[in-house]
């Protein structure tokens, strides 16, 4: 069988593509969420807050495509993962959905009335629309690292035994704060590059503070992972080319298991190192007012934070802390070989189009948003 249609190869490719889509969402839609987080704090006047909103107003809808692509990829390429995550995390997903709905509504209606109380209320609702998804997405990653309380019966019918409040465990809260800090960093750097003064100066200081917070939280998370966090490890050899069935393996939990991939392949340690290093260099770029470079560096840091979770967990995608042997992995939770191959062909065709169009849009919209521009129409974004 040619290598490019080998089932094992396709599974790894789609694991990588899933990581690319999730990282793409974190980078592209992340600065939208980060901008919302900073909105009530960096905008001291109504005009300044409208500048902040207008930096993302023309692009946030397009950036949402990455979230749709990520969810669609999980549904099509990893159906058991989709079933467990979207059923088990149903209330958390509903909370995220309600928060995300606040963004288009807030952008649409915030400036329709001149009443300061009306506009301030929408400003804080836009903050919620940025903060809550950032926190919950991070909490979800933390729960994936800890293990999710699900199991299958002999017919692969899933039972989930958790609840919404049970998701907010200490490590999950830490990863939630990591998510908030990294998106606030990315959003602050974006505002520094897109907004005019004095908003840009405030954004540089805010982004630098968020970057320092991110570095500290990442170090705390690394120490926790090495010394107190029980990861998952497959016992024995799991066939990589068999039809998906998560019941045919043995898994154990042990402290430090999430570091095994780095021990086996030390070069992988460059991923978390780059996450910390890019954030540190972003601080220097922000202090030097090299805003475009800072946006690039914060984007690299965000992507590497997402990649660190994936590299640490490989080949696990969604472990089960109820019955570890029923955890979902790259080798036993994918769609069929023909499905993965067809999806890969479609991705190779359409992904370049999306990337080229996205680059074109940002080139057209380059430049800073000014008060004169936003005040020319009192009822727009």
Domain boundaries in the chain? 7-375
pLDDT tens-digit readout, 78-97: 999 999 998 888 899 999 99
Output the pTM of the full model: 0.93
pLDDT tens-digit readout, 336-371: 999 999 999 999 998 899 889 889 988 988 889 888
298: part of which helix (H) or strand (E)?
A: helix 291-313
Using left for φ > 0, alpha for ψ between -120 and 50, and beta otherwise, residue 290 falls in beta
DSSP 239: -
pLDDT tens-digit readout, 211-233: 999 999 999 999 999 888 899 99
Structure tokens at 72: 């669609």
**Alpha-carbon distance values, 255 to 170, 233, 234, 271 (Å):** 16, 10, 14, 21
Burial class (CB within 10 angstroms; exposed 0-12, middle 13-18, buried 19+) of 243: exposed
Structure tokens at 150: 């699900």
- First-to-final CA distance of the chain: 55
**Alpha-carbon distance values, 353 to 19, 39, 68, 358 (Å):** 19, 32, 16, 8
* Preceding peptide of 56 cis, ω within 30°: no
Q: What is the chain's Cα-based Rg?
A: 21
pLDDT tens-digit readout, 119-170: 999 999 999 999 999 999 999 999 999 999 999 998 888 999 988 888 899 9
Quick check: 307 and 23 in contact, CB under 8 A?
A: yes
Quick check: 221 and 178 in contact, CB under 8 A?
A: yes
Which residues is 232 bridged to in the sheet?
Answer: 253
């Amino acid at each position: 069988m040619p290598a490019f249609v080998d089932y094992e190869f396709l599974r790894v490719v789609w694991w990588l593509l899933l990581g690319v889509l999730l990282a793409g969402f974190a980078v592209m839609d992340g600065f939208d969420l980060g901008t919302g987080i900073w909105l009530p704090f960096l905008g001291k006047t109504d005009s300044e807050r409208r500048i902040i909103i207008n930096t993302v107003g023309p692009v946030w809808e397009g950036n949402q495509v990455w979230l749709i692509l990520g969810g669609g990829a999980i549904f099509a390429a990893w159906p058991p993962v989709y079933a467990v995550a979207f059923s088990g995390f149903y209330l958390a997903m509903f909370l995220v959905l309600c928060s995300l709905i606040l963004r288009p509504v807030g952008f649409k209606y915030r400036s329709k009335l001149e009443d300061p109380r009306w506009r301030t209320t929408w400003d804080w609702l836009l903050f919620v629309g940025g903060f809550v998804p950032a926190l919950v997405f991070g909490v979800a990653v933390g729960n994936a690292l800890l293990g999710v309380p699900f199991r299958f019966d002999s017919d692969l019918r899933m039972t989930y035994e958790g609840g919404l409040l049970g998701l907010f465990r200490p490590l999950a809260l830490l990863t939630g704060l990591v998510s908030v800090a990294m998106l606030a960093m990315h959003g602050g750097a974006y505002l520094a590059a897109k907004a005019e003064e004095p908003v840009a100066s405030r954004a540089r200081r805010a982004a630098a503070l968020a970057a320092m917070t991110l570095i500290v939280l990442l170090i705390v998370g690394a120490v926790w992972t090495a010394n107190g966090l029980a990861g998952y490890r497959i016992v024995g050899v799991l066939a990589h080319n068999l039809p998906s069935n998560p019941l045919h393996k043995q898994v154990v939990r042990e402290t430090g298991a999430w570091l095994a991939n780095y021990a086996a392949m030390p070069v992988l340690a460059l991923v978390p190192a780059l996450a910390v290093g890019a954030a540190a260099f972003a601080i220097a770029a922000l202090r030097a007012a090299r805003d475009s470079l800072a946006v690039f560096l914060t984007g690299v840091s965000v992507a590497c934070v997402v990649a660190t979770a994936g590299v640490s967990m490989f080949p696990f995608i969604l472990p089960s802390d109820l019955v570890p042997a029923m955890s979902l992995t790259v080798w036993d939770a994918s769609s069929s070989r023909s499905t993965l191959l067809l999806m890969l062909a479609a991705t190779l065709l359409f992904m370049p189009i999306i990337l080229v169009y996205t680059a074109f849009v940002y080139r057209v919209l380059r430049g800073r948003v000014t008060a004169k521009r936003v005040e020319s129409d009192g009822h727009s974004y």
